[in-house]
């Protein structure tokens, strides 16, 4: 279906996305390989109307070409512009990192505004093929890295709470929740649309300090059972 016939164009976010696409192709005609919407709007079930954010990906033929990455509010719609060289973005799509649960949706779910060569389906296929080849140990290793981030944030939140630095403690607890949700995503090979979706789907959105600590403790046990313990010796650290 051509985007111009899409009923979602009643949504002002789609209209802004079309305007950005037209301006990019007019100003950088030789640099742009593909333009796509990603995030909740790309799933077609987001009813935020004029509120919320439009995530746009600009894939360029060469790194450093095209406009710079930027975020602006345009006609009341927040636009987040990601600009990346096509080859670099494909390399990212083939990499399993601790942030995979929060990044994968951008590779798999997009809506094309401009894609004359079919690059976006190739991006999705490259990522899915990489997942099919990935060994369990790769996800466990990435999960351990995410666990360290969550454990550090949780410990910091607990100390701040003891010092009655309530606002800062809540911020750090939020980081711990998200990191723990990311660990869950890596251990189950589940990706999320955004950080809010991650903590909601893993049941961590309202978790308090004790509950987050218990989740992290269970995750440490599972990582140890998978051969990726979070604790080790000095030699383990140096030989990693």
Burial of 2 (0-12, 13-18, 19+ CB in 10 A): exposed
pLDDT band at residue 6 using 50, 70 and 90 as cut-offs: low
Q: Which range among 4-13, 41-50, 80-89 has the greatest average pLDDT?
A: 80-89
SS3 assignment, position 137: helix
The per-type count for the chain, helices as H runs and strands as E runs, is 10, 5
For residue 41, name the pLDDT band (cuts at 50, 70, 90): confident
Q: Quote the pTM value.
A: 0.90
How far apart CA 28 and CA 24 sit, in angstroms, is 6
- pLDDT band at 4; cut points 50, 70, 90: very low
**pLDDT range class, residue 170, cuts 50, 70, 90:** very high
The model's confidence at residue 46, banded by pLDDT at 50, 70 and 90, is low
CATH code of the region 3-133: 3.30.460.10
Exposed/middle/buried for 221, CB within 10 Å: 0-12, 13-18, 19+?
exposed
CA distances from 15 to 21, 60, 75, 105 (A): 10, 22, 10, 22
Using pLDDT thresholds of 50, 70 and 90, give the confidence band for residue 240.
confident
């Amino acid at each position: 279906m051509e985007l111009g016939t899409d009923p979602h164009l009643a949504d002002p976010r789609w209209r802004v996305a079309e305007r950005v696409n037209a301006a990019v192709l007019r100003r950088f005609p030789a640099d742009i390989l593909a333009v796509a919407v990603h995030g909740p709007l790309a799933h077609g079930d987001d009813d935020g109307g004029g509120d919320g954010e439009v995530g746009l990906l600009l894939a360029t033929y060469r790194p450093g070409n095209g406009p710079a990455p930027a975020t602006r509010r345009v006609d009341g719609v927040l636009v987040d512009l990601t600009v990346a060289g096509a080859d670099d973005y494909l390399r990212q799509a083939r990499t399993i990192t601790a942030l995979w649960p929060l990044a994968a949706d951008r590779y798999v779910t997009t809506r094309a505004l401009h894609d004359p060569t079919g690059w976006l389906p190739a991006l999705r296929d490259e990522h899915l093929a990489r997942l099919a080849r990935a060994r369990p140990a790769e996800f466990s290793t990435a999960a351990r890295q995410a666990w360290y981030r969550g454990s550090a944030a949780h410990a910091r939140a607990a100390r701040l709470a003891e010092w009655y630095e309530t606002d800062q403690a809540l911020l750090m607890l939020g980081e711990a929740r998200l990191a723990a949700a990311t660990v869950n995503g890596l251990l189950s090979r589940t990706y999320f649309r955004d950080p809010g979706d991650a903590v909601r789907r893993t049941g961590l959105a309202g978790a308090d300090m004790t509950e987050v600590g218990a989740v992290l403790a269970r995750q440490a046990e599972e990582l140890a059972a998978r051969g990726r313990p979070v604790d080790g010796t000095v030699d383990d650290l140096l030989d990693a």
